Amino acid sequence: MVIIGANAWFWYSLNQSKFVLLAPVLTILRGLAFFTIKKKHPRGWLLQPKWHTMKNHKEYNFKYTEISTITELSDEEQNLVNQSLEALKTSYSPYSKFKVGAAALLENGEVILGSNQENGAYPSGLCAERVALFYAGAKYPGVPVKCLAVSACFEGEQTKSPVSPCGACRQVMIETQHIGKKPMRIILTGSEKSIVIENSAFLLPFNFVNTDKIFE
């Protein structure tokens, strides 16, 4: 409606004015301006509040590795992935029937397994990643987690695509990494494709930190 109205007004005022002969030129200029703005603001320039004065745009990118077979990983990490598959057996998921297994490799060489544990009061359940990381924290407080492998299984078969952790698990991964003071590698596995992320913090920009130092 706004665009139709603006067009009608544009043509009417042009026809009324002595600049009517400039109509084609003005139309081309207006089109060019519109497309330039549209390209810069694909979500629509009307939605961009004060876009013309907001110069300090920032971008967030991160690198990760996609692998088609876990044989591309080190022996230690292949073993960790296999242990996450093993952990699927302990999943208690009668409601979703979606099993998730997690294996955390600690710096002291220990491997801690976790699986999703559901509950009839749905929100009371917990994801595999958090079961593993909280268990690791309870058993070996302060010991850094070097790597966390996650696998999932639905209807008896491992998922083809890598399982993607929920936001709450990402938040917990980041704080676990913060406590350990070392980057935690995350391996998200699927039978046809897996993903390796070098630092768990990549997974949750603007994660919650319990201080006012987030932007330092």
Number of separate helices (H) and strands (E) present in the chain? 5, 7
The smaller minimum CB distance to ligand THU, of residues 77 and 118, is found at 118
Nearer to ligand THU, 113 or 169 (CB): 169
Shortest distance (Å) from residue 28 CB to ligand THU: 53
The single residue of 76, 129, 157, 198 carrying the catalytic annotation is: 129
CB nearer to ligand THU: pick between 104 and 163: 163
Residues 6 or more apart whose Cβ sits within 8 Å of residue 176: 133, 136, 137, 145, 184, 200
Residue 48 in tokens: 């961009």
Nearest distance from C-beta of residue 175 to ligand THU, angstroms: 16
The DSSP letter of residue 92 is B
Contact residues toward ligand THU (CB under 6 A) are 93, 96, 98, 100, 116, 118, 125, 127-129, 163, 165-166, 169
Closest CA to 133 of 79, 185, 177, 90: 177
129 annotated active-site:
yes
* Residue 50 in tokens: 């004060």
Minimum CB separation of residue 209 from ligand THU in Å reads 22
CB of 130 to ligand THU, least distance (A): 8
Quick one: 94 or 109, whose CB is closer to ligand THU?
A: 94
Helices (H), the chain: 2-16, 23-40, 75-87, 128-139, 167-180
Residues classed as catalytic: 129
